[in-house]
Structure 1
Protein backbone atom coordinates (compact mmCIF):
# COMPACT_ATOMS: atom_id res chain seq x y z
CA UNK A 1 0.00 0.00 0.00
CA UNK A 2 1.03 3.61 -0.45
CA UNK A 3 1.00 6.38 2.12
CA UNK A 4 2.10 9.42 0.18
CA UNK A 5 5.63 8.72 -1.02
CA UNK A 6 6.03 5.76 1.36
CA UNK A 7 5.39 2.17 0.31
CA UNK A 8 4.17 -0.04 3.17
CA UNK A 9 3.92 -3.84 3.18
CA UNK A 10 3.74 -6.63 5.74
CA UNK A 11 6.27 -9.42 6.18
CA UNK A 12 5.96 -12.96 7.52
CA UNK A 13 7.46 -12.95 11.00
CA UNK A 14 5.79 -16.21 12.02
CA UNK A 15 2.27 -17.35 12.82
CA UNK A 16 0.96 -18.18 16.29
CA UNK A 17 -2.39 -19.20 17.77
CA UNK A 18 -2.97 -17.67 21.20
CA UNK A 19 -5.62 -18.30 23.84
CA UNK A 20 -8.71 -16.28 23.03
CA UNK A 21 -9.35 -15.48 26.68
CA UNK A 22 -5.88 -13.99 26.97
CA UNK A 23 -6.19 -11.94 23.78
CA UNK A 24 -9.58 -10.50 24.80
CA UNK A 25 -9.18 -10.40 28.57
CA UNK A 26 -12.46 -10.03 30.46
CA UNK A 27 -14.58 -9.82 27.30
CA UNK A 28 -16.94 -12.84 27.20
CA UNK A 29 -16.32 -15.35 24.43
CA UNK A 30 -19.85 -15.02 22.97
CA UNK A 31 -18.92 -11.41 22.14
CA UNK A 32 -15.37 -11.71 20.81
CA UNK A 33 -16.07 -14.94 18.89
CA UNK A 34 -18.39 -12.92 16.62
CA UNK A 35 -15.28 -11.09 15.45
CA UNK A 36 -12.62 -13.84 15.31
CA UNK A 37 -13.18 -17.59 15.37
CA UNK A 38 -11.36 -19.83 17.84
CA UNK A 39 -10.15 -23.38 17.22
CA UNK A 40 -10.93 -26.44 19.37
CA UNK A 41 -8.27 -25.34 21.87
CA UNK A 42 -9.89 -21.90 22.22
CA UNK A 43 -6.93 -20.38 20.36
CA UNK A 44 -7.31 -17.59 17.83
CA UNK A 45 -4.91 -16.95 14.94
CA UNK A 46 -2.28 -14.35 15.78
CA UNK A 47 0.17 -13.67 12.96
CA UNK A 48 3.26 -11.61 13.61
CA UNK A 49 3.57 -9.29 10.62
CA UNK A 50 6.59 -6.96 10.77
CA UNK A 51 5.76 -3.83 8.81
CA UNK A 52 8.13 -2.74 6.04
CA UNK A 53 8.20 0.95 5.17
CA UNK A 54 10.19 1.97 2.12
CA UNK A 55 10.99 5.64 1.64
CA UNK A 56 12.99 7.17 -1.16
CA UNK A 57 16.23 6.50 0.73
CA UNK A 58 15.55 4.20 3.71
CA UNK A 59 14.20 0.74 4.45
CA UNK A 60 12.42 0.70 7.80
CA UNK A 61 10.89 -2.21 9.71
CA UNK A 62 8.44 -2.15 12.62
CA UNK A 63 8.92 -5.08 15.03
CA UNK A 64 10.54 -8.36 14.04
CA UNK A 65 8.38 -11.46 14.59
CA UNK A 66 9.19 -14.68 16.45
CA UNK A 67 12.44 -15.54 14.69
CA UNK A 68 13.74 -18.98 13.87
CA UNK A 69 15.04 -21.76 16.10
CA UNK A 70 14.71 -19.78 19.33
CA UNK A 71 11.46 -21.18 20.72
CA UNK A 72 11.49 -24.48 22.61
CA UNK A 73 9.23 -27.36 21.62
CA UNK A 74 7.00 -26.50 24.57
CA UNK A 75 6.76 -22.86 23.50
CA UNK A 76 6.03 -23.83 19.91
CA UNK A 77 3.20 -26.02 21.16
CA UNK A 78 1.79 -23.62 23.77
CA UNK A 79 1.82 -20.66 21.41
CA UNK A 80 0.30 -22.71 18.59
CA UNK A 81 3.09 -21.84 16.16
CA UNK A 82 2.17 -23.00 12.67
CA UNK A 83 5.28 -21.48 11.14
CA UNK A 84 8.31 -19.61 12.40
CA UNK A 85 9.62 -16.53 10.65
CA UNK A 86 9.99 -16.34 6.87
CA UNK A 87 11.31 -12.80 7.11
CA UNK A 88 14.24 -13.26 4.73
CA UNK A 89 11.96 -14.78 2.09
CA UNK A 90 9.49 -11.92 2.55
CA UNK A 91 12.23 -9.35 2.11
CA UNK A 92 13.37 -11.05 -1.07
CA UNK A 93 9.95 -10.26 -2.53
CA UNK A 94 11.07 -6.62 -2.42
CA UNK A 95 14.66 -7.35 -3.57
CA UNK A 96 15.95 -6.78 -0.04
CA UNK A 97 17.93 -8.64 2.58
CA UNK A 98 18.08 -8.06 6.32
CA UNK A 99 21.32 -6.17 5.76
CA UNK A 100 19.39 -3.61 3.70
CA UNK A 101 17.23 -2.55 6.67
CA UNK A 102 18.36 0.88 7.86
CA UNK A 103 16.02 1.46 10.81
CA UNK A 104 14.22 -0.89 13.22
CA UNK A 105 11.32 0.58 15.23
CA UNK A 106 10.27 -1.48 18.26
CA UNK A 107 6.79 -0.79 19.64
CA UNK A 108 7.75 -2.95 22.63
CA UNK A 109 9.99 -5.91 23.42
CA UNK A 110 7.60 -8.81 24.11
CA UNK A 111 8.85 -12.09 22.67
CA UNK A 112 6.41 -12.13 19.75
CA UNK A 113 7.77 -8.77 18.60
CA UNK A 114 11.44 -9.00 19.54
CA UNK A 115 12.59 -12.60 19.01
CA UNK A 116 13.39 -11.77 15.40
CA UNK A 117 15.99 -9.19 16.49
CA UNK A 118 18.70 -11.83 16.85
CA UNK A 119 19.61 -15.28 15.60
CA UNK A 120 20.40 -18.28 17.81
CA UNK A 121 23.92 -16.96 18.43
CA UNK A 122 22.70 -13.54 19.59
CA UNK A 123 23.86 -11.82 16.44
CA UNK A 124 21.79 -8.93 15.14
CA UNK A 125 19.50 -9.99 12.31
CA UNK A 126 19.61 -6.40 11.00
CA UNK A 127 23.33 -5.65 11.33
CA UNK A 128 23.29 -2.22 9.70
CA UNK A 129 20.16 -0.84 11.33
CA UNK A 130 19.67 1.74 14.04
CA UNK A 131 17.20 0.33 16.59
CA UNK A 132 14.74 2.75 18.25
CA UNK A 133 13.30 1.60 21.62
CA UNK A 134 11.50 3.57 24.32
CA UNK A 135 13.80 3.93 27.36
CA UNK A 136 11.46 2.42 30.00
CA UNK A 137 10.83 -0.52 27.68
CA UNK A 138 14.54 -1.03 27.12
CA UNK A 139 15.28 -0.89 30.85
CA UNK A 140 12.61 -3.46 31.71
CA UNK A 141 13.67 -5.67 28.83
CA UNK A 142 17.19 -5.78 30.27
CA UNK A 143 15.95 -6.12 33.87
CA UNK A 144 12.52 -7.80 33.80
CA UNK A 145 10.40 -8.19 36.91
CA UNK A 146 8.73 -11.35 38.19
CA UNK A 147 5.86 -10.93 35.69
CA UNK A 148 7.62 -9.52 32.65
CA UNK A 149 10.46 -12.05 32.60
CA UNK A 150 7.97 -14.45 30.99
CA UNK A 151 8.03 -12.34 27.83
CA UNK A 152 11.26 -10.28 28.02
CA UNK A 153 13.72 -13.00 27.06
CA UNK A 154 17.46 -12.68 27.55
CA UNK A 155 17.99 -14.69 24.34
CA UNK A 156 16.61 -11.67 22.48
CA UNK A 157 19.45 -9.49 23.71
CA UNK A 158 22.35 -9.31 21.30
CA UNK A 159 25.05 -7.32 19.63
CA UNK A 160 22.60 -4.72 18.30
CA UNK A 161 22.83 -3.01 21.71
CA UNK A 162 25.42 -0.52 20.52
CA UNK A 163 22.98 0.62 17.83
CA UNK A 164 20.04 1.30 20.15
CA UNK A 165 18.61 4.81 20.33
CA UNK A 166 16.46 5.37 23.41
CA UNK A 167 13.77 8.01 23.80
CA UNK A 168 11.37 8.99 26.57
CA UNK A 169 8.14 10.50 25.22
CA UNK A 170 8.39 10.96 21.46
CA UNK A 171 10.92 10.70 18.66
CA UNK A 172 10.93 11.05 14.87
CA UNK A 173 13.41 8.53 13.44
CA UNK A 174 12.61 9.70 9.91
CA UNK A 175 10.72 12.73 8.55
CA UNK A 176 7.00 11.94 8.73
CA UNK A 177 7.41 8.95 11.07
CA UNK A 178 6.91 9.47 14.82
CA UNK A 179 7.05 7.07 17.76
CA UNK A 180 4.89 8.06 20.75
CA UNK A 181 5.07 6.49 24.19
CA UNK A 182 1.67 5.30 25.45
CA UNK A 183 2.32 2.62 28.05
CA UNK A 184 -0.60 0.32 28.74
CA UNK A 185 0.27 -2.99 27.16
CA UNK A 186 3.69 -2.60 28.73
CA UNK A 187 5.30 0.25 30.62
CA UNK A 188 7.23 1.41 27.56
CA UNK A 189 4.75 0.51 24.83
CA UNK A 190 4.64 2.96 21.92
CA UNK A 191 2.57 3.67 18.82
CA UNK A 192 3.85 4.88 15.45
CA UNK A 193 2.32 7.49 13.14
CA UNK A 194 3.25 7.74 9.47
CA UNK A 195 2.50 10.82 7.34
CA UNK A 196 3.43 11.72 3.77
CA UNK A 197 1.80 14.10 1.30
CA UNK A 198 -1.37 14.41 3.42
CA UNK A 199 -1.80 10.63 3.62
CA UNK A 200 -1.71 9.22 7.15
CA UNK A 201 -1.39 5.85 8.87
CA UNK A 202 -0.97 4.72 12.45
CA UNK A 203 0.24 1.51 14.00
CA UNK A 204 -1.16 1.30 17.53
CA UNK A 205 0.59 -2.02 18.14
CA UNK A 206 -0.80 -4.09 21.01
CA UNK A 207 -3.20 -1.57 22.54
CA UNK A 208 -5.19 -2.06 19.29
CA UNK A 209 -3.82 -5.42 18.11
CA UNK A 210 -6.68 -6.45 15.79
CA UNK A 211 -9.70 -4.78 14.23
CA UNK A 212 -11.81 -6.67 16.80
CA UNK A 213 -10.26 -4.58 19.61
CA UNK A 214 -11.76 -1.29 18.41
CA UNK A 215 -13.89 -1.00 21.55
CA UNK A 216 -11.77 0.93 24.04
CA UNK A 217 -12.64 -1.52 26.83
CA UNK A 218 -11.46 -4.57 24.89
CA UNK A 219 -7.85 -4.98 26.01
CA UNK A 220 -5.76 -8.10 26.38
CA UNK A 221 -5.04 -10.00 29.58
CA UNK A 222 -1.38 -9.45 28.74
CA UNK A 223 -1.69 -5.69 29.31
CA UNK A 224 0.34 -4.75 32.37
CA UNK A 225 -1.58 -1.48 32.79
CA UNK A 226 -5.03 -2.05 31.25
CA UNK A 227 -6.52 1.26 32.39
CA UNK A 228 -3.69 3.06 30.62
CA UNK A 229 -4.46 1.07 27.46
CA UNK A 230 -8.11 2.05 27.72
CA UNK A 231 -7.23 5.69 28.28
CA UNK A 232 -4.85 5.81 25.30
CA UNK A 233 -7.39 4.10 23.05
CA UNK A 234 -10.01 6.63 24.11
CA UNK A 235 -7.54 9.42 23.39
CA UNK A 236 -6.37 8.28 19.98
CA UNK A 237 -8.74 5.96 18.11
CA UNK A 238 -11.59 8.43 17.54
CA UNK A 239 -9.08 11.16 16.70
CA UNK A 240 -7.31 9.05 14.10
CA UNK A 241 -10.61 7.96 12.54
CA UNK A 242 -11.78 11.56 12.21
CA UNK A 243 -8.45 12.49 10.63
CA UNK A 244 -8.77 9.71 8.03
CA UNK A 245 -5.83 7.57 9.14
CA UNK A 246 -5.15 4.07 7.97
CA UNK A 247 -4.80 1.66 10.92
CA UNK A 248 -2.00 -0.87 10.43
CA UNK A 249 -2.04 -4.23 12.22
CA UNK A 250 0.72 -6.63 13.26
CA UNK A 251 -1.50 -9.36 14.74
CA UNK A 252 -4.74 -9.24 12.79
CA UNK A 253 -5.47 -12.56 11.01
CA UNK A 254 -7.50 -10.87 8.25
CA UNK A 255 -6.54 -7.24 7.83
CA UNK A 256 -3.20 -5.56 7.29
CA UNK A 257 -4.76 -2.10 7.14
CA UNK A 258 -8.22 -0.58 7.48
CA UNK A 259 -9.95 2.78 7.38
CA UNK A 260 -13.07 3.48 9.41
CA UNK A 261 -15.99 5.70 8.48
CA UNK A 262 -15.94 8.81 10.67
CA UNK A 263 -19.67 8.71 11.38
CA UNK A 264 -20.37 5.08 12.37
CA UNK A 265 -16.74 3.94 12.68
CA UNK A 266 -17.26 0.86 10.53
CA UNK A 267 -14.61 -0.42 8.13
CA UNK A 268 -14.92 1.28 4.73
CA UNK A 269 -11.53 0.41 3.14
CA UNK A 270 -9.08 -2.38 3.77
CA UNK A 271 -5.99 -4.30 2.73
CA UNK A 272 -6.55 -7.99 3.44
CA UNK A 273 -3.61 -10.26 4.25
CA UNK A 274 -3.06 -13.50 2.39
CA UNK A 275 -3.26 -16.72 4.39
CA UNK A 276 0.18 -17.86 5.55
Structure 2
Protein backbone atom coordinates (compact mmCIF):
# COMPACT_ATOMS: atom_id res chain seq x y z
CA UNK A 1 0.00 0.00 0.00
CA UNK A 2 1.33 3.41 -0.92
CA UNK A 3 1.88 5.74 2.00
CA UNK A 4 0.20 9.12 2.10
CA UNK A 5 2.30 11.91 3.54
CA UNK A 6 0.97 15.33 4.40
CA UNK A 7 3.27 18.18 5.37
CA UNK A 8 0.99 20.43 7.38
CA UNK A 9 3.66 22.95 8.40
CA UNK A 10 7.37 23.50 7.99
CA UNK A 11 8.12 21.26 10.97
CA UNK A 12 5.17 18.86 11.02
CA UNK A 13 4.47 15.89 8.74
CA UNK A 14 1.70 13.29 8.94
CA UNK A 15 2.15 9.83 7.41
CA UNK A 16 -0.53 7.11 7.32
CA UNK A 17 0.90 3.64 7.95
CA UNK A 18 -0.73 0.30 7.12
CA UNK A 19 -2.33 -0.97 10.33
CA UNK A 20 -4.61 -3.57 8.75
CA UNK A 21 -8.14 -3.79 7.33
CA UNK A 22 -11.35 -4.93 9.03
CA UNK A 23 -14.93 -5.25 7.81
CA UNK A 24 -17.64 -4.56 10.38
CA UNK A 25 -21.42 -4.83 10.21
CA UNK A 26 -22.80 -1.69 8.57
CA UNK A 27 -25.91 -1.72 10.73
CA UNK A 28 -23.81 -1.68 13.90
CA UNK A 29 -21.56 1.05 12.53
CA UNK A 30 -24.52 3.33 11.77
CA UNK A 31 -26.76 2.43 14.69
CA UNK A 32 -30.41 3.36 14.18
CA UNK A 33 -29.79 4.90 10.74
CA UNK A 34 -31.54 2.76 8.07
CA UNK A 35 -29.35 1.11 5.44
CA UNK A 36 -31.06 2.94 2.52
CA UNK A 37 -29.69 6.17 4.03
CA UNK A 38 -26.16 5.24 5.12
CA UNK A 39 -25.43 3.04 2.10
CA UNK A 40 -25.71 6.13 -0.13
CA UNK A 41 -22.69 7.53 1.70
CA UNK A 42 -20.59 4.44 2.44
CA UNK A 43 -20.47 1.17 0.45
CA UNK A 44 -21.21 -2.25 1.92
CA UNK A 45 -20.47 -5.77 0.68
CA UNK A 46 -22.98 -8.59 0.23
CA UNK A 47 -22.68 -9.48 3.92
CA UNK A 48 -23.67 -5.91 4.88
CA UNK A 49 -20.13 -5.24 6.09
CA UNK A 50 -18.28 -1.99 5.53
CA UNK A 51 -14.53 -1.65 5.05
CA UNK A 52 -12.78 -0.02 7.99
CA UNK A 53 -9.05 0.53 7.78
CA UNK A 54 -7.05 0.67 11.01
CA UNK A 55 -4.18 2.88 9.86
CA UNK A 56 -2.05 4.63 12.50
CA UNK A 57 -0.88 8.14 11.72
CA UNK A 58 2.78 9.00 12.30
CA UNK A 59 3.15 12.60 13.46
CA UNK A 60 6.70 13.84 13.01
CA UNK A 61 7.03 17.10 14.90
CA UNK A 62 9.69 18.92 16.95
CA UNK A 63 12.13 16.08 16.37
CA UNK A 64 9.72 13.50 17.79
CA UNK A 65 8.05 10.48 16.20
CA UNK A 66 4.53 10.31 17.62
CA UNK A 67 2.15 7.54 16.59
CA UNK A 68 -1.60 8.11 16.69
CA UNK A 69 -3.32 4.74 17.34
CA UNK A 70 -1.63 1.34 16.94
CA UNK A 71 -3.54 -0.73 14.36
CA UNK A 72 -4.60 -4.37 14.73
CA UNK A 73 -1.04 -5.65 14.72
CA UNK A 74 0.15 -8.87 13.11
CA UNK A 75 -0.62 -12.26 14.57
CA UNK A 76 -2.54 -10.65 17.42
CA UNK A 77 -5.96 -12.10 16.51
CA UNK A 78 -6.96 -15.77 16.38
CA UNK A 79 -8.69 -17.40 13.42
CA UNK A 80 -12.17 -16.85 14.87
CA UNK A 81 -11.48 -13.17 15.51
CA UNK A 82 -10.00 -12.69 12.05
CA UNK A 83 -13.16 -14.17 10.58
CA UNK A 84 -15.64 -12.34 12.84
CA UNK A 85 -13.97 -8.97 12.35
CA UNK A 86 -13.64 -9.43 8.60
CA UNK A 87 -9.89 -8.95 8.60
CA UNK A 88 -8.51 -9.06 5.06
CA UNK A 89 -5.08 -7.63 5.85
CA UNK A 90 -2.97 -7.37 8.99
CA UNK A 91 -0.56 -4.60 9.88
CA UNK A 92 2.81 -3.89 8.29
CA UNK A 93 3.99 -0.86 10.24
CA UNK A 94 7.63 -1.94 10.08
CA UNK A 95 7.57 -1.75 6.28
CA UNK A 96 6.14 1.77 6.28
CA UNK A 97 8.53 2.97 8.95
CA UNK A 98 11.50 1.47 7.10
CA UNK A 99 10.62 3.56 4.05
CA UNK A 100 11.01 6.60 6.32
CA UNK A 101 14.31 5.37 7.74
CA UNK A 102 12.70 4.43 11.06
CA UNK A 103 11.99 1.34 13.15
CA UNK A 104 9.41 0.52 15.83
CA UNK A 105 12.05 1.43 18.41
CA UNK A 106 12.14 5.00 17.05
CA UNK A 107 8.58 5.77 18.16
CA UNK A 108 8.75 8.23 21.08
CA UNK A 109 5.06 8.41 22.03
CA UNK A 110 1.82 6.63 21.14
CA UNK A 111 -1.44 8.56 21.51
CA UNK A 112 -4.41 6.25 22.08
CA UNK A 113 -7.89 7.66 21.57
CA UNK A 114 -9.23 4.52 23.26
CA UNK A 115 -8.20 0.93 23.81
CA UNK A 116 -10.67 -1.15 21.77
CA UNK A 117 -9.00 -4.08 20.04
CA UNK A 118 -8.99 -2.46 16.59
CA UNK A 119 -6.95 0.44 17.96
CA UNK A 120 -4.80 -1.29 20.58
CA UNK A 121 -3.89 -4.78 19.32
CA UNK A 122 -0.80 -3.38 17.63
CA UNK A 123 0.66 -2.22 20.95
CA UNK A 124 2.09 -5.67 21.67
CA UNK A 125 3.85 -8.36 19.70
CA UNK A 126 4.81 -12.01 20.20
CA UNK A 127 8.50 -12.89 20.44
CA UNK A 128 9.30 -16.59 20.98
CA UNK A 129 5.85 -17.11 22.46
CA UNK A 130 6.16 -14.19 24.87
CA UNK A 131 4.30 -10.88 24.62
CA UNK A 132 6.52 -7.83 24.28
CA UNK A 133 5.92 -4.12 23.69
CA UNK A 134 5.74 -3.36 19.96
CA UNK A 135 7.17 0.12 20.60
CA UNK A 136 9.77 -0.57 23.30
CA UNK A 137 10.95 3.01 23.78
CA UNK A 138 7.59 4.77 23.61
CA UNK A 139 5.42 6.38 26.24
CA UNK A 140 1.79 5.37 25.65
CA UNK A 141 -0.77 8.05 26.51
CA UNK A 142 -4.29 6.93 27.50
CA UNK A 143 -7.14 8.75 29.22
CA UNK A 144 -7.27 7.56 32.84
CA UNK A 145 -10.88 6.25 32.79
CA UNK A 146 -10.07 4.31 29.62
CA UNK A 147 -6.99 2.76 31.16
CA UNK A 148 -8.94 1.69 34.24
CA UNK A 149 -11.66 0.05 32.15
CA UNK A 150 -9.08 -1.57 29.89
CA UNK A 151 -7.68 -3.43 32.90
CA UNK A 152 -11.07 -4.05 34.55
CA UNK A 153 -13.65 -4.45 31.79
CA UNK A 154 -17.34 -4.97 32.46
CA UNK A 155 -19.61 -7.65 31.02
CA UNK A 156 -19.98 -5.66 27.79
CA UNK A 157 -16.53 -4.17 27.33
CA UNK A 158 -14.64 -7.41 27.96
CA UNK A 159 -15.42 -8.27 24.34
CA UNK A 160 -13.02 -5.55 23.16
CA UNK A 161 -10.65 -4.82 26.06
CA UNK A 162 -8.19 -7.71 25.96
CA UNK A 163 -5.57 -8.39 28.62
CA UNK A 164 -3.22 -9.45 25.81
CA UNK A 165 -3.24 -5.83 24.63
CA UNK A 166 -2.15 -4.25 27.91
CA UNK A 167 -0.25 -6.62 30.17
CA UNK A 168 3.06 -6.24 28.35
CA UNK A 169 2.90 -2.44 28.02
CA UNK A 170 1.55 -1.37 31.43
CA UNK A 171 4.93 0.04 32.45
CA UNK A 172 4.90 2.34 29.39
CA UNK A 173 1.47 3.87 30.01
CA UNK A 174 0.89 7.38 31.29
CA UNK A 175 -2.64 8.69 31.80
CA UNK A 176 -4.33 12.07 31.60
CA UNK A 177 -7.67 13.39 32.79
CA UNK A 178 -9.42 16.06 30.68
CA UNK A 179 -6.66 16.95 28.22
CA UNK A 180 -2.99 16.44 27.46
CA UNK A 181 -0.67 18.37 25.12
CA UNK A 182 2.13 16.09 23.96
CA UNK A 183 3.95 18.91 22.11
CA UNK A 184 2.74 22.45 21.44
CA UNK A 185 -0.20 22.22 19.07
CA UNK A 186 -0.91 18.47 19.44
CA UNK A 187 -3.51 17.83 22.11
CA UNK A 188 -5.64 14.92 23.38
CA UNK A 189 -9.12 15.84 24.65
CA UNK A 190 -11.37 13.53 26.66
CA UNK A 191 -14.88 13.17 25.20
CA UNK A 192 -16.38 9.89 26.35
CA UNK A 193 -19.24 8.63 24.21
CA UNK A 194 -17.89 5.72 22.22
CA UNK A 195 -16.34 4.54 25.48
CA UNK A 196 -16.20 6.25 28.86
CA UNK A 197 -12.57 7.24 28.32
CA UNK A 198 -12.67 7.98 24.60
CA UNK A 199 -10.61 10.97 23.48
CA UNK A 200 -10.01 12.96 20.30
CA UNK A 201 -6.95 14.75 18.89
CA UNK A 202 -6.65 18.42 17.93
CA UNK A 203 -3.65 19.57 15.91
CA UNK A 204 -2.92 23.28 15.47
CA UNK A 205 0.37 23.56 13.67
CA UNK A 206 1.06 26.19 11.05
CA UNK A 207 -2.13 27.73 9.70
CA UNK A 208 -4.30 24.61 9.95
CA UNK A 209 -6.79 23.28 12.46
CA UNK A 210 -6.92 19.49 12.13
CA UNK A 211 -9.19 17.16 14.09
CA UNK A 212 -9.07 13.41 14.60
CA UNK A 213 -12.47 12.57 16.04
CA UNK A 214 -11.64 8.86 16.32
CA UNK A 215 -14.78 6.75 16.80
CA UNK A 216 -17.32 9.49 17.46
CA UNK A 217 -16.79 10.20 13.73
CA UNK A 218 -14.98 7.12 12.39
CA UNK A 219 -15.71 7.82 8.70
CA UNK A 220 -16.70 10.75 6.52
CA UNK A 221 -20.22 9.28 6.39
CA UNK A 222 -20.67 9.87 10.16
CA UNK A 223 -20.74 13.64 9.70
CA UNK A 224 -24.34 14.01 10.92
CA UNK A 225 -24.26 14.55 14.69
CA UNK A 226 -27.09 12.01 15.14
CA UNK A 227 -25.33 9.23 13.21
CA UNK A 228 -23.60 7.35 16.01
CA UNK A 229 -22.56 3.75 16.41
CA UNK A 230 -24.48 0.90 18.00
CA UNK A 231 -21.08 0.07 19.49
CA UNK A 232 -21.12 3.33 21.48
CA UNK A 233 -21.41 2.75 25.22
CA UNK A 234 -22.86 6.25 25.74
CA UNK A 235 -24.51 7.34 22.47
CA UNK A 236 -26.04 10.54 23.88
CA UNK A 237 -22.56 11.60 25.00
CA UNK A 238 -21.30 10.94 21.48
CA UNK A 239 -24.05 13.16 20.09
CA UNK A 240 -23.28 15.90 22.61
CA UNK A 241 -19.56 15.85 21.81
CA UNK A 242 -20.26 15.85 18.08
CA UNK A 243 -22.36 18.95 18.62
CA UNK A 244 -19.54 20.49 20.65
CA UNK A 245 -16.61 19.58 18.39
CA UNK A 246 -17.64 18.12 15.00
CA UNK A 247 -20.33 20.62 14.02
CA UNK A 248 -18.09 23.69 14.65
CA UNK A 249 -15.16 22.04 12.84
CA UNK A 250 -17.33 21.55 9.77
CA UNK A 251 -18.69 25.10 9.97
CA UNK A 252 -15.15 26.46 10.27
CA UNK A 253 -14.04 24.33 7.30
CA UNK A 254 -11.36 22.71 9.47
CA UNK A 255 -9.57 19.57 8.33
CA UNK A 256 -10.85 16.24 9.69
CA UNK A 257 -8.60 13.18 9.44
CA UNK A 258 -9.45 9.50 9.73
CA UNK A 259 -8.05 6.22 11.04
CA UNK A 260 -10.89 4.03 9.73
CA UNK A 261 -12.16 5.56 6.48
CA UNK A 262 -11.81 3.36 3.39
CA UNK A 263 -11.43 6.32 1.02
CA UNK A 264 -10.36 9.54 2.76
CA UNK A 265 -7.28 10.21 4.85
CA UNK A 266 -8.44 13.75 5.57
CA UNK A 267 -10.97 16.22 4.22
CA UNK A 268 -12.72 19.54 4.64
CA UNK A 269 -16.47 20.02 4.32
CA UNK A 270 -18.21 23.15 3.10
CA UNK A 271 -19.67 25.25 5.92
CA UNK A 272 -23.11 23.71 5.45
CA UNK A 273 -21.58 20.23 5.43
CA UNK A 274 -23.13 19.32 2.10
CA UNK A 275 -19.95 19.14 0.02
CA UNK A 276 -16.37 17.99 0.39
CA UNK A 277 -14.29 20.97 -0.70
CA UNK A 278 -10.80 19.51 -0.26
CA UNK A 279 -9.43 16.08 0.54
CA UNK A 280 -6.45 13.75 0.83
CA UNK A 281 -7.40 10.40 -0.67
CA UNK A 282 -6.06 6.96 0.19
CA UNK A 283 -3.96 5.83 -2.74
What is the TM-score normalised by the length of structure 2? 0.94
Q: What corresponds to 2:220 in structure 1?
A: 211
Q: What corresponds to 1:223 in structure 2?
A: 232
Q: Give me the whole-angstrom Cα distance separating, in 1, the residues matched to 2:254 and 2:106.
A: 28
Q: What corresponds to 1:240 in structure 2?
A: 249
Q: Which runs of 4+ in 1 moved over 3 A?
A: none
Q: Is the 8 A contact 2:117 2:162 kept in 1?
A: yes
Deviations 1:189-235 (A, max 9, x none): 00000111222211000000000000011111110000000010011
- Aligned pairs for 1:1-276 (under 5 A) are 1-4=6-9, 5-120=11-126, 121-274=130-283
State the Cα distance separating 1:243 from its structure 2 match.
Answer: 3.4
State the Cα distance separating 1:265 from its structure 2 match.
Answer: 4.5
Q: Is the 8 A contact 1:201 1:246 kept in 2?
A: yes
What is the aligned-residue RMSD (CA, Å)?
A: 1.1
Deviations 1:93-136 (A, max 9, x none): 22111111101000000000000000133211111111110000
Q: Give me the whole-angstrom Cα distance separating, in 1, the residues matched to 2:160 and 2:257.
A: 23
- My pick for the range that moved more, 246-255 or 120-129, is 120-129
Counterpart of 1:165 in 2: which secondary structure?
Answer: strand
Q: Is the 8 A contact 1:53 1:59 kept in 2?
A: yes
Q: Give me the whole-angstrom Cα distance separating, in 2, the residues matched to 1:237 and 1:208.
A: 8
Q: Give me the whole-angstrom Cα distance separating, in 1, the residues matched to 2:122 and 2:215.
A: 17
State the Cα distance separating 1:255 from its structure 2 match.
Answer: 0.1
What is the TM-score normalised by the length of structure 1? 0.96
Q: Tell me the number of residue pairs that the alignment of Structure 1 and Structure 2 aligns.
A: 274
Q: Give me the whole-angstrom Cα distance separating, in 2, the residues matched to 1:198 and 1:173.
A: 19
Counterpart of 2:89 in 1: which secondary structure?
Answer: coil
Q: Give me the whole-angstrom Cα distance separating, in 2, the residues matched to 1:89 and 1:249.
A: 21
Q: Is the 8 A contact 2:250 2:272 kept in 1?
A: no
Show structure 2 runs of 5+ residues with no match.
1-5
Deviations 1:41-63 (A, max 9, x none): 11110110101111131001111
Q: Give me the whole-angstrom Cα distance separating, in 2, the residues matched to 1:250 and 1:142.
A: 24
Counterpart of 2:209 in 1: which secondary structure?
Answer: strand
Q: Give me the whole-angstrom Cα distance separating, in 2, the residues matched to 1:182 and 1:93.
A: 34
Q: Give me the whole-angstrom Cα distance separating, in 2, the residues matched to 1:273 and 1:29.
A: 25
Deviations 1:150-201 (A, max 9, x none): 0000110133222211111011011111100000000000000011122221
Show structure 1 runs of 5+ residues with no match.
none
Q: Is the 8 A contact 2:225 2:247 kept in 1?
A: no
